[in-house]
Structures are given as C-alpha cells and as structure tokens.
Amino acid sequence: MQKRLSLIISLVIIFIFIPLTLYAGIVLFNDRKYYFISIMIIILASIPFFLSFERRKPQPREILIIAVMSAISVTGRALFVITPGFKPVAAIAAITGFSLGAEAGFLTGAISALVSNMFFGQGPWTPFQMFMWGMIGFIGGLLGRTGIMHKKIPLILFGIFAGILFSFGMDIWGTMSLYGVFSMEAYIVALTSAVPFTIVYAVSNVIFLLILARPIREKLERINNKYGTFQ
C-alpha cells in the first residue's frame, strides 16, 4: 500500500503536474517565463525520487551509506576546489549507483550537490545541479544492473557520456539565465562555448571512474558481505 501510494503520487506528478506547468508556461505566461518554469519542472521532477525514498522507510544502514558516499564526494569537491570542473562528484554518484542501485545513485548525486552548495553557496543552479548529478547516479544504477560496468571500456564511455549529459543539462540553465528565453540558436552558442568545460567534465569523470570504481565497489561489497546491508 505504501509503495503504491508513492507510485501514484509520482505518476500524478510526472503525467499531470509537469505537463500542466508546461501548459501554464506556454499559455498563461505567453511562453516567456522559461526561467521560472524550468526551475519548477526540475523541482517537480526530483520529487518522485525523494518521495519513494521517504515512503519506503529505509533502514539506518542505507541512510548512513548514502550519507557517507555523499560526504565523500563533497570532501572530494572541496579538495579539488582550485580546478574548475575537475570534480569527482559525478563519478562517485555513478559508482554508488553501480553498486547500490539507481535510487541510491540518484540520492547520492542530489545530496552531494545540495550539501556541497551549503559550503560553497546556494543559487538558482542548485536544483539543476542536484538533478543532473542525481540523474548520472540514476543512470549508473540502471547500467550497474547489467554488470557491464566492471569492464574498462564501458566505464570510459559512461564517463564521457556523463560529462556531456551534465554539460548539456547545465547549459539549459545557463542559456536561460543569459537570454531569459530558451532558443535553440542560443543553446548551441552556449554548448559550443562550454566545450572546454565539457571536455574537463568528461576527462575528470573518466579519470575518477577508472581510479575509484574498482576500489569503492570492492569496499561496498566487503561491507555488504560483512554486514549484509543492501540485499
């Protein structure tokens, strides 16, 4: 019953509230309030993830492991504060996803973004960052189920993909804050001007994934064997 209720609420959000917000943006606000609407949609889109976690009543061990993984990625972001874009956050969210599933991956990514912005300053970019990093963790979780992420080549490809995904997502926000409206032309300009950043994201993801994926996976497995946390 618990599970079904959260599923219903999620479906209502995805199929009714988000289209309604889009409709309101186009009809009521004359297709001009992209900035506001986009932030609303990002917030709405994140709700189902948090809701299902909330309704599931997770055990303390799950909560603690997600908190630890987020704290590690925040510490990592703080360590690499001088190198813009070169951060281990996406990689750690993805690795958590590989080992512990899509939900844990999403939460690790989103909480890392929120917590690290508590240190570096919140802004209108926070919801976007939370969603993008969360999505990387989520996709990582889905791919982790197939078991191919133990190999090097899928890992490299995933790192590049995650860098591009993050850059594309954040550029939607960037375009809208620079031009107020979303135009394809402006988006392409933003994407091309962000190419160096995209490369840095992708390269840092690949490096961190290659270095960290195996040790962290082994450690999580060890914890799992020792205590039987995530079944």
Partner 1 sequence: MKSFETFHPLVIFAFFAAAIGLSMFFMHPAYLVITIFLAVSLNIALRRGQFFKDWKLYVPLFFLMAIINPLISHNGKLVLFYINYNAITVEAIVYGLSIATMIVSIILWFSCYNETITTDKFIYLFGKISPVFSLTLSISLRLVPRFQQQLHKISNAQKVIGMDYRSGSLLHRIKCTLRIISILITWALDNAIDTADSMKARGYGIGKRTSFSLFIFERRDGIVLLFIMFLLMVNIWASIIGTTTFYFYPTFSIIQWDLKNILFYCSYFLLLAIPIIIEIKGGIEWKLLKSKM
Look up tokens 């209108």; give the residue: 124
Of 87, 91, 67, 86, which is closest to residue 77 (Cα–Cα)? 87
- The interface region with partner 1, picked from 4-12, 17-25, 132-140, 218-226 by CB under 8 A, is 218-226
| 84 touches partner 1 by CB under 8 A | no
Instruction: Give Cβ neighbours of residue 44 (< 8 Å, ≥ 6 apart).
Output: 13, 17, 18, 21
| 32 touches partner 1 by CB under 8 A | yes
Of 98, 102, 96, 99, which is closest to residue 66 (Cα–Cα)? 96
CA 11 to chain CA centroid, Å, is 20
Contacting residue, 5, 11, 36, 152, with partner 1 by CB under 8 A: 36
Amino acid at 83: T
Determine the Cα–Cα distance for residues 206 and 136; give it in Å rounded to an integer.
13
| 22 touches partner 1 by CB under 8 A | no
x-or-dash pattern for partner 1, window 178-207, by CB under 8 A? Answer: xxx--x-xx--x------------------
Determine the Cα–Cα distance for residues 112 and 210; give it in Å rounded to an integer.
20
Running DSSP on this structure, what letter comes out for residue 82?
T
Judged by beta carbon, residue 89 or residue 165, the one nearer partner 1 is 89
Chain residues 132-171 in contact with partner 1, contact rule CB under 8 A: none
Element (H, E) at 77: helix 60-79
Chain residues 97-136 in contact with partner 1, contact rule CB under 8 A: 107, 111, 114-115, 118-119, 121-124
Distance of closest approach, residue 140 Cβ to partner 1, in angstroms: 17
By the criterion CB under 8 A, which residues form the site for partner 1? 30, 32-33, 35-36, 39, 50, 53-54, 57-61, 63-68, 70-72, 74-75, 78, 107, 111, 114-115, 118-119, 121-124, 177-180, 183, 185-186, 189, 211-212, 215-216, 219-220, 223, 226-227, 229
